[in-house]
Amino acid sequence: MKAVLQDRYGNADAVRVGELAKPVPSDDEVLIRIRAASLNGSDRENLVGSPLYARLGGLRRPRHPVPGSDVSGVVETVGKSVSDFEPGEAVFGELAGYRGGLAEYVATPPRLLARKPPGLSYAEAAAIPQAGCIAYRSTRGIEPGERVLVNGGGGAGGAMVIGLAKHFGATVTAVDRADKAAFLLRAGADQTIDYAESDWAAEEGRYDRIVDLVAHRSPYRVRRALRPGGSYLMVGGHARILLATAASTLPIRWTAKNEVKVLVVPQSREDLEAVTALVTEGAVAPITDRTFPLDAAAEAFARLASGDNQGKIVIEVP
Ligand SMILES: NC(=O)c1ccc[n+]([C@@H]2O[C@H](COP(=O)([O-])OP(=O)(O)OC[C@H]3O[C@@H](n4cnc5c(N)ncnc54)[C@H](OP(=O)(O)O)[C@@H]3O)[C@@H](O)[C@H]2O)c1
């Protein structure tokens, strides 16, 4: 089968399209004929091998040669022990181990997969899993009228976080590069901040919730921007900051009952189904940046690595 291959950490030139044996599913796996995949910030981290947690899948080089975690496609065969899906069903989801998705086929345990709603295209469905599950977990419990700040809202996952926070009635401030301001407003933000121009963390007592996709400040500093009872959820960012926070008592609680924690987003079929229901009822939508064919995967990774993407990069597998 045709697959994107990565045999070292590096820039976009570390990937190429080549041939790999078609996988054979074990008894507890399904074989999916992939129709579309989408890229996340985690795929960029797995490309360059940084932060350090991106090397859990291989210290010197990726153990699994095929990148890509979010896929949609059609079940081709099922293993003997699989009872939840049948050949011919359209499915989508995030792959365990965050790899294997940029290929014509993948064999994977079915526990993270969901049935693709007929109203969504394969490209639309592939754009949901990681971004949607991050958005679902990081916006849970938002009350109407709350002030929410989304830091790093202009990348792969941000639009769904902004959109869901808005759907739950928050006033949303989104932070990213100046040239992504129009995108942030389109995703639902009420106002935007250019991170090169102003430091939102210096605003005291302003936000009920801060969702940080690119945490790089000390949480002790960010905490000052929270209102009493507010929460700071660190989703991604500098490994040193995330590890130091996670290693502290979880959740860290300071005075004024502010909550600061690394938000662990589990790979979960239930969360995927819940956020997809919100997509199909029109509450929120992933926004596609550009679509590339599988043969142009290196171009797709170059765009991801540049940070120029505004929303999801989708790769179609003909
Ligand atoms: N917690 C969990 O369980 C969990 C699960 C899955 C994934 N993750 C992590 O969540 C993160 C997902 O984010 P994503 O996929 O949306 O990432 P992304 O596509 O890389 O987007 C990040 C955005 O932040 C912007 N940015 C960079 N520096 C910034 C700064 N100083 N201030 C504000 N914005 C800045 C980037 O713009 P430029 O770089 O172009 O300037 C980009 O638009 C990844 O780190 C991933 O590993 C966490």
Domain edges within the chain:
2-128+286-316, 131-262
In angstroms, what is the span from residue 236 Cα to ligand 1's centroid?
Answer: 6
- What is residue 175's predicted lDDT score, i.e. its pLDDT? 98
Q: Atom of ligand 1 at shortest distance to CA of 216?
A: 31
- What is residue 254's predicted lDDT score, i.e. its pLDDT? 57
Pull the structure tokens for residue 77.
Answer: 């065969």
CA 107/CA 115 separation, integer angstroms: 16
In angstroms, what is the span from residue 238 Cα to ligand 1's centroid?
Answer: 10
Amino acid in position 192: T
152 lines ligand 1 (CB under 6 A): yes
- What is residue 255's predicted lDDT score, i.e. its pLDDT? 55
214 lines ligand 1 (CB under 6 A): yes
Give phi and psi for 3, each to the nearest 5: -150, 155
- What is residue 245's predicted lDDT score, i.e. its pLDDT? 86
Pick the CATH number of 2-128+286-316 from 3.90.180.10, 3.30.420.10, 1.50.10.20, 3.30.43.10: 3.90.180.10
pLDDT per residue as tens digits for the range 56-65: 889 999 999 9
Mutate-to-test residue for ligand 1 from 164, 173, 213, 262, highest number of ligand atoms within 8 A of CB? 213
In angstroms, what is the span from residue 79 Cα to ligand 1's centroid?
Answer: 36
- What is residue 246's predicted lDDT score, i.e. its pLDDT? 84
Q: pLDDT confidence of 310, banded at 50, 70, 90?
A: very high
Amino acid in position 92: F
pLDDT per residue as tens digits for the range 92-122: 999 999 999 999 999 999 999 999 999 999 9
Q: Which helix (H) or strand (E) holds 30?
A: strand 30-39
pLDDT per residue as tens digits for the range 291-305: 999 999 999 999 999
263 lines ligand 1 (CB under 6 A): yes
- Which residue's CA is the closest to the ligand 1 atom numbered 42? 155
pLDDT per residue as tens digits for the range 234-288: 999 998 899 888 887 655 555 557 888 999 999 999 999 999 999 999 999 999 9
In angstroms, what is the span from residue 237 Cα to ligand 1's centroid?
Answer: 7
Mean pLDDT across 132-160: 97
- What is residue 212's predicted lDDT score, i.e. its pLDDT? 98
Report percent pLDDT > 70 for the chain: 97
In angstroms, what is the span from residue 214 Cα to ligand 1's centroid?
Answer: 5
156 lines ligand 1 (CB under 6 A): yes
Fold agreement between 2-128+286-316 and 131-262: no
CA 4/CA 242 separation, integer angstroms: 30
Mean pLDDT across 141-165: 97
CATH T-level fold of 131-262: Rossmann fold (3.40.50)
Lowest mean pLDDT among 51-65, 111-125, 193-207: 51-65
| The pLDDT of residue 75 is above 70 | yes
- Which residue's CA is the closest to the ligand 1 atom numbered 45? 236
100 lines ligand 1 (CB under 6 A): no
Q: Is the Cβ–Cβ distance between 30 and 110 less than 8 Å?
A: yes
Mean pLDDT across 158-172: 98
70 lines ligand 1 (CB under 6 A): no
210 lines ligand 1 (CB under 6 A): no
42 lines ligand 1 (CB under 6 A): yes
149 lines ligand 1 (CB under 6 A): no
Residue whose structure tokens are 């991050």: 134
- Comparing 258 with 177, which gets the higher pLDDT? 177
Mean pLDDT across 147-164: 97
- What is residue 251's predicted lDDT score, i.e. its pLDDT? 54
Q: Which residues, other chains included, contact 88 with Cβ-Cβ below 8 Å and sequence gap of 6+?
A: 74, 75
- What is residue 281's predicted lDDT score, i.e. its pLDDT? 97
- Which residue's CA is the closest to the ligand 1 atom numbered 16? 157
Q: Is the Cβ–Cβ distance between 65 and 97 less than 8 Å?
A: no
Q: Which residues, other chains included, contact 283 with Cβ-Cβ below 8 Å and sequence gap of 6+?
A: 163, 164, 167
